[in-house]
Structure 1
Amino acid sequence: MRLLHFSDAHLGAEIHGRRDTDGRHTHVKDFLNCLDFIIKVAVEKQVDAVLFTGDAYHSPRPDPLSQREFLRRLLSLTERGISVLLLMGNHDLPIGYGEAAALDIVNLLKIPGLQFVREPKVVTLPTLKGNLHIACFPYLPRRFFVSLEEEQGWTEERVQGEMRRRVSDLVTRLQRESQQRNDGSPIVFAGHLWVEGVEFVGSERVFSLTYEPIVAPSTLRRDPFAYIALGHIHRHQFVGDRDFGVPIAYAGNIGRLSFDEEHDPKGFLLVDLERTTKGVWGVKDLRFVETPTRRFVTVRLNLCQASDPTQYALNALAQNRDLDGAVVRVFLTINEEQRGQLNLATIRSALEKRVDHLAALSFEVATDDNAPMPLLADPSRPSELEQLLQRPIELLARWLAQKGNLDQQRRERLLRLAMELMQEQESG
């Protein structure tokens, strides 16, 4: 049986890009192009089922366009007999109490071969090669595991310990339910959660740090799960030793959302399951396939020795063909004497003819510790800056990411302290 595992589509994200002539944002179109590629491969490779492990949309209240385009592509799979499982991620979680999730419509319409799961349970997907049983562990918020009353007076270490214990109990329940479906069909695990030992993208760790349970790989790696498909962490990776035990795989997001992901490949996994002579299902073949995601490129130029810093920058940028059609940010370093010689408008004009989106163009003076802060939002889109101001931790994370003199450990510590300060303020 062949599976396709992808995750974290984040449709509707308009973070880096521009409004195209057809009115659509290029960042949205990029992710839809990646999704089209996934659908194309699923059909060409004749997969039997598709596992999507959460975060269909960037917002829990997605725009109608994103909903229409996502469901349209899923229907193109089910119409070909390819079953699809959709798991709820944290971005799909309704904001208000009693609200419906955007993907609830899937189950209401009872579309054959398409299921959306928002609570822990075992589901069965019918495929052209028989049933596929899936132990589903969607994103579950902190309050699902530990109430506010329980948490009073507890240290974060104790909270994490209690959440880990309750996650383990829940996985044990799913394991038992899976074993009861003893019809010879393969059983896999699908989850949207954080596993110990993962590598993070940028400030991803800090955003999740105090809110979620962190589970050990051994909590998930149990019989009879033949494959463990995970979402939530944006970097594609395998947790633990692939040659020892059942593969625990994060597919990663399908396209780049930020410059933190500049050098990370994006894509999905093709998984071939095979039943051994002993009747046990396992992974026969596992391949990561990259999507045609847009490049993100950072350029840092030191112009201190240039007699004409503007022309030097123009020449250097013209030789860099990676900038064509990419999302780009450029940081320049000059001497104090060169301030009057540097023409950012000329450089910006040249770049905007080549790039998809110029996310930042700034300079700093080599001898000045208080260099101007790089642009954090597109000045032509005031709403972007307004949204960032409502998310101060993300704003701080972007600024720290653009400060080249801070290592990753120090950035994480500063973000952690900022989050703790905000929590103290909110609690009075």
Structure 2
Amino acid sequence: MRFLHTSDWHLGCRFHGEDLIDHQRKVLDHICATARTQKVDALLIAGDIYDRAIPSLDAVRLFDRALHQLADLGIPTVMISGNHDSAHRLGTGSGLYAKSGVHLRTDPADAARPVLLDDEHGPVAVYGVPYLEPALVRTQLDAETASHQAVLTSALDRIRTDLATRPGARSVVLAHAFITGATTSKSERDISVGGVAHAGADLFDGIDYTALGHLHRPQSVNDRIHYSGSPLAYSFSEANHTKSITLADLPAAGAPTITRHNIPADLHLPLARLTGRIEDLLTDPAHEALSEAWLQVTLTDTALPYEAMARLRQRFSKTLDMRHVPAGIPAQATDSPTYRERVRGRGDVKCRCSATEGMSSLSQCQVSEIDALTCG
């Protein structure tokens, strides 16, 4: 059975103020066209459909258009909510969507209710585990603690209980999580609880294919656990990523065969990074091709040049981000810390975030607020 695996669409996201709706429309068209030309049997969409819990009207319109495209393919689609999504809003109408072959899993209670598929080798049970906010779902899932490891363990235990009633069925699980061993970028929202954002890959032992979302770089955790990555870059840290969608061919037994289909170059965001002294950047003819690119510029002048951004934009009109790192100082010293840097040395302790008062979920906190968790 052939699956097309994608995730992290982030519909409605803006890139340093630039509207991405047209870019996202084109890449969704490409995903649907690939599903058709590659004759896939089902689509797996592993969360972060929207970029925010309350999406813009343009984002909602684009999602509605995508739903019609998915239904028109005539093949099943299984979709879960991610940490950027409002599970309740995304799940509205899911019963009606299912009648058109689009199966949304946004409620943890439905994680062990599979979408059942068949091919010449027999049945395949596809389970969708939405993003699990530990503090909110611990009681519902009877988890031992309010941690990512604990709530995912409870969800997978329920899935294995259901799978045991389906002898001979192969299994596919969609999940939206940070799994140990994967590589992050600076685009993903921190989902730390007590400084621990990740869960172990052994949670998915015995599952034939795990289709993950949340991390934007396409990658394999092992031969059965894969991230599709986002189809577009959502930060300059992703400028050199090879964006793709994943085809997973599930055999009668054994690990799936994975093929990454790169997103065509003409659909990429026109991102580039420049580093150097401002006078060199403004006069070097080698940079002429970047006059319309979306740029992140790192200036290495000893002192920050006067009106640097205005001067850069005279030549590079789409300079979107500028930073000053005098020569001899590592660039990463001014960048936002990565997941690994933020969680280094922290334990899995109970925390609370004052910013969540009145909010529906911890994931609505900003990264700076997450880092300011009060622990006890």
What range describes the TM-score normalised by the shorter chain of this pair?
A: 0.7 to 0.9
Alpha carbons of structure 1 residues 299 and 164: separation in structure 2 relative to 1, 3 Å: same
Counterpart amino acid of residue 176 in structure 1: T
Alignment map for 1:265-414 (pairs within 5 Å): 265-275=242-252, 280=253, 282-283=255-256, 285-291=257-263, 292-302=267-277, 309=279, 312-316=280-284, 318-320=285-287, 323=290, 325-335=292-302, 345-352=310-317, 357-361=318-322, 403=334, 412=342
1:378 equivalent in structure 2: none
2:93 equivalent in structure 1: 105
**Quick check: 1:117 aligned with 2:105?**
yes
Shift in Å at residue 80 of structure 1? 2.9
2:172 equivalent in structure 1: 188
2:132–2:152: 8 Å Cα contact kept in structure 1?
no
Say which of 181, 192, 195 aligns to 1:197: 181
Counterpart amino acid of residue 7 in structure 2: S
Alignment partner of 1:349: what SS?
A: helix
Shift in Å at residue 213 of structure 1? 6.2
**Quick check: 1:216 aligned with 2:200?**
yes
Alpha carbons of structure 1 residues 207 and 270: separation in structure 2 relative to 1, 3 Å: same
Say which of 69, 73, 76 aligns to 1:76: 69
2:231 equivalent in structure 1: 254
Shift in Å at residue 78 of structure 1? 2.5
Shift in Å at residue 123 of structure 1? 1.8
Alpha carbons of structure 1 residues 423 and 348: separation in structure 2 relative to 1, 3 Å: same
Alpha carbons of structure 1 residues 113 and 329: separation in structure 2 relative to 1, 3 Å: same
Counterpart amino acid of residue 424 in structure 1: T
Alignment partner of 1:239: what SS?
A: strand
**Number of aligned residue pairs:** 346
Counterpart amino acid of residue 248 in structure 2: V
Shift in Å at residue 110 of structure 1? 4.4
Structure 2 unpaired stretches of 5+: 347-366
Counterpart amino acid of residue 34 in structure 1: V
1:74–1:84: 8 Å Cα contact kept in structure 2?
no
Moved more, 128-137 or 294-303: 128-137
Cα distance in 1, alignment partners of residues 71 and 169 from structure 2:
20
1:134–1:189: 8 Å Cα contact kept in structure 2?
yes
Shift in Å at residue 411 of structure 1? 5.6
Alpha carbons of structure 1 residues 365 and 89: separation in structure 2 relative to 1, 3 Å: closer
Cα distance in 1, alignment partners of residues 154 and 324 from structure 2:
54
1:8 equivalent in structure 2: 8
Structure 1 unpaired stretches of 5+: 19-24, 95-99, 152-157, 304-308, 370-399
Say which of 66, 86, 89 aligns to 1:93: 86
Alignment map for 1:8-47 (pairs within 5 Å): 8-18=8-18, 25=19, 27-47=20-40
Bigger-Rg structure (1/2):
1
CA deviation string 1:148-189 (max 9, x = no partner): xx99xxxxxx957x653453233122012123233x554211
Cα distance in 1, alignment partners of residues 176 and 118 from structure 2:
23
Alpha carbons of structure 1 residues 176 and 362: separation in structure 2 relative to 1, 3 Å: closer
Counterpart amino acid of residue 112 in structure 1: S
Alpha carbons of structure 1 residues 135 and 17: separation in structure 2 relative to 1, 3 Å: same
Alpha carbons of structure 1 residues 67 and 415: separation in structure 2 relative to 1, 3 Å: farther
Alignment partner of 2:77: what SS?
A: strand
1:424 equivalent in structure 2: 374
CA deviation string 1:92-146 (max 9, x = no partner): 135xxxxx32342232454421110012223225578785421221111111454
Cα distance in 1, alignment partners of residues 251 and 344 from structure 2:
47
1:136 equivalent in structure 2: 128
Alignment partner of 2:12: what SS?
A: coil
1:81–1:113: 8 Å Cα contact kept in structure 2?
yes
Counterpart amino acid of residue 332 in structure 1: L
**In angstroms, what is the RMSD of aligned CA positions?**
3.7
Alignment partner of 1:136: what SS?
A: strand
2:187–2:235: 8 Å Cα contact kept in structure 1?
no
Alpha carbons of structure 1 residues 93 and 419: separation in structure 2 relative to 1, 3 Å: same
1:123–1:136: 8 Å Cα contact kept in structure 2?
yes
Counterpart amino acid of residue 187 in structure 1: S
2:43–2:78: 8 Å Cα contact kept in structure 1?
yes
Alignment partner of 1:91: what SS?
A: coil
Alignment map for 1:149-168 (pairs within 5 Å): 159=145, 164-168=149-153
